[in-house]
Structure 1
Amino acid sequence: ETDIDDRYGDLDARGDSDVPEMPLSSDRTPEILKKALSGLSSRWKNWWIRGILTLTMISLFFLIIYMGSFMLMLLVLGIQVKCFHEIITIGYRVYHSYDLPWFRTLSWYFLLCVNYFFYGETVADYFATFVQREEQLQFLIRYHRFISFALYLAVIVLNVMKTAIPQDEGFLVPISSVICNDITAYLFGFFFGRTPLIKAAYVLSKYQYFVCPVEYRSDVNSFVTECEPSELFQLQSYSLPPFLKAVLRRETVSMYPFQIHSIALSTFASLIGPFGGFFASGFKRAFKIKDFANTIPGHGGIMDRFDCQYLMATFVHVYITSFIRGPNPSKVLQQLLVLQPEQQLNIYKTLKTHLIEKGILQPTLKV
């Protein structure tokens, strides 16, 4: 990425004279008011227009309040969308001369991603009973964070692809570097490697501090790393597909579940991870700087070395919360015990009704 900045850092070096001027806003006053107030001076005309529209907006606001909380939610969403539309319109007018592709499309898509992330869980809580009954909606709620992250990544990738450096060198060079790195690592390991990576990982997994979280125990007054390994780090047998059974001549294969999840993590690191560096390079070029800092001589700042790691760490968090980590029963129980007795009783009745509908509990017969 440093090489990219060095070679293409002058592409965005435009003088202040090249920046287009801000277009003037047009008058949106209704024609009826213009005709009714045509005989007044500009000062009193502005006073009457402001007064009439102020009373109109206040009346509409009271009407929406009377219609209920759901209409207030729609009002807030509508105001947000309109404010975003005005900002995007200004940006499009100012930077229209730069011929930025998909400027408005990607901007609206980004607004959709943000609203889905911030409003998704809130709406799910508001319509909790309805969501639990509809299996099609449960997928959107269960994997809400992962879907939001995937949509946001699509914005980053599309921005990079549509604003790529001429001849696509800004895209091809880093991707080729990752590919060459993988090939070189394989060749080096083939000729000079002594311990297979899988065996090394198996040896490391025997030490509990590699698979157990660090926890503080009050009885011994110290931090411990002892635990019962979760199902992710316990060997399990998996049935092979029919075509693999014929090739490998075996019915099952023993693997750690975490090895399956590591495929998704490594795929993201190799395909999407480099885009974190592209984003950081674009940020530095926008401010006409080469590196974020000079903390490490010859390498720039810490941010220059860990730009891709932020994107990877975010994906790991989203992936774990979406596909690996489920609700913690002990934490849920602790939260229930804090509630008032009336609230606990309501939760008990709701849970009992749910288990009866699932057929887990038998309905109580009234005598």
Structure 2
Amino acid sequence: MLSRRQGLKLSASAAAAAVSGAPAWSGGGADPAAPTVGTPVSIQVPEGACDCHVHVFPDPAAFPFWEGRAYTPPVATAAELLALQRALHLDRVVIVTPSVYGTDNGATLDGLRQLGPQRARGVAVIGDATTEADLDAMAKAGIRGVRVNLEQAGVFDPAASAKALDAAVRRIGQRPWHLQVYSRLSVIAPLKAQLAAVPVPIVFDHFAGAQAALGPQQPGFEAVLDLVRSGNAWVKLSGAYRASTRAPDYPDVAPLARALVAANPERLVWGSDWPHPDSGAVPGRKPTDLAPAQPIDDGRVLNLLAEWVPDAALRKAVLVDNPARLYGF
């Protein structure tokens, strides 16, 4: 947990940035209200468009981080998220509970409350101590899925992963929710048959963990494409910087996106992954040390969707129609 001094420092930094309009990174030309938008949106964003993957990190004095976390992110509030939405011309958003809170969904639920049911839905992280009453209350608050973060937990064994996924599906029960999975292709591919039989929608984070430099022919990606073709799985076109090192336009991500579109455009959604927390291990950085957010230009990344999904009607499906069905807007 952050000390009170660290928490006040984080909160003061966020407040200073909000007052001064200073960008969180040195990209230049950033929108003062939404400092991660350094490039104006140039694509036509249809009404009802949704950012399907963001996090909120409110004041840690009010919403403490989990002691077992792997990193400590800067403050990123619901108010700042709303400013991002407006700068990107988006009407809807999905807040996902990040690993730094463990199974405490308080920050996500507070974000949903602040943004309201017309705009926001959420994805929770649960554990053995999460009761059925808790799940019912979260459903009323706007939660529409459960996330299993195998990547951050370091679970790369398919057998152990299968148990974690089974446990989450059992907890979902008859609720009209989905199972969101953050993992890698070497874990997903061996579980293809099990994932195809899961009675709830499966949603893979961040291009299903594919590495852009290896292209659509990389081992395991065809298994994801098969699951998407059959309608058993969804994929988030999100976190391009996690798949590629070729910033700022990530050209090697485009073939992955186009392969997914060719497989089944009705099973794709888009996400910014704002505020781009740096969850990776850095030599000498302790989990309790502040990990600066990664310098991502959200306007530029949204504009890339025109290259990934050139057809305007299909982009509308990805931005509006598919999220409306998956999250119940």
The verdict on a shared fold, with TM-score over 0.5 as the criterion, is no
TM-score using structure 2 length: 0.21
Where is the helix percentage greater, Structure 1 or Structure 2?
1
TM-score using structure 1 length: 0.19
Where is the strand percentage greater, Structure 1 or Structure 2?
2
Larger C-alpha radius of gyration, 1 or 2?
1
